[in-house]
């Protein structure tokens, strides 16, 4: 699996996707803010067929997230979820 895919280096997102709100693929760096690990695993298993269309009458978006549940084992899905969660930027608070 290529880390440098259509989501950009380190999951930065920003690549164009037709007829989606915002017009671009969202960053994966915020996954941990929006989903628990279990919710993320469900999305990885089942896929995300389509993003919301910017124009409901327009064409379907070209890019979506496929289902990986029948292609990857549970431990592989868990490792992928852990990796996606690890992309979240570290806070800049000081530690002592």
Verdict on whether the full-model pTM lies above 0.75: no
Domain that holds residue 41: 9-86
Instruction: Report pLDDT digits (tens) over 11-48.
Output: 777 778 888 888 888 888 888 888 999 999 999 999 98
Q: How confident is the model at residue 93 (pLDDT cuts 50, 70, 90)?
A: low
| 63 within a domain of the structure (yes/no) | yes
Q: Please report, for the domain that includes residue 71, its CATH number.
A: 1.10.760
Q: How many domains does the chain have?
A: 1
| 4 within a domain of the structure (yes/no) | no
Q: How confident is the model at residue 92 (pLDDT cuts 50, 70, 90)?
A: low
C-alpha to C-alpha distance for 45 and 16, rounded to whole angstroms? 25
C-alpha to C-alpha distance for 33 and 70, rounded to whole angstroms? 26
| 96 within a domain of the structure (yes/no) | no
| 94 within a domain of the structure (yes/no) | no
| 91 within a domain of the structure (yes/no) | no
DSSP readout, 36-72? -HHHHHHHHHH-B--PPBSSTTSPPPS--BPP-TTTS
Token pair, residue 29, equals: 């760096």
Evaluate if residue 77 carries a pLDDT over 90: yes
């Amino acid at each position: 699996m290529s880390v440098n895919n259509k989501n950009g280096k380190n999951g930065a997102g920003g690549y164009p996707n037709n007829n989606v709100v915002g017009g671009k693929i969202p960053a994966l760096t915020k996954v941990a803010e929006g989903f628990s690990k279990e919710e993320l695993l469900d999305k990885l298993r089942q896929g995300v067929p389509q993003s919301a269309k910017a124009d409901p009458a327009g064409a379907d978006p070209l890019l979506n997230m496929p289902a990986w549940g029948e292609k990857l084992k549970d431990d592989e899905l868990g490792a992928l979820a852990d990796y996606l969660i690890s992309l979240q930027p570290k806070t800049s608070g000081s530690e002592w």
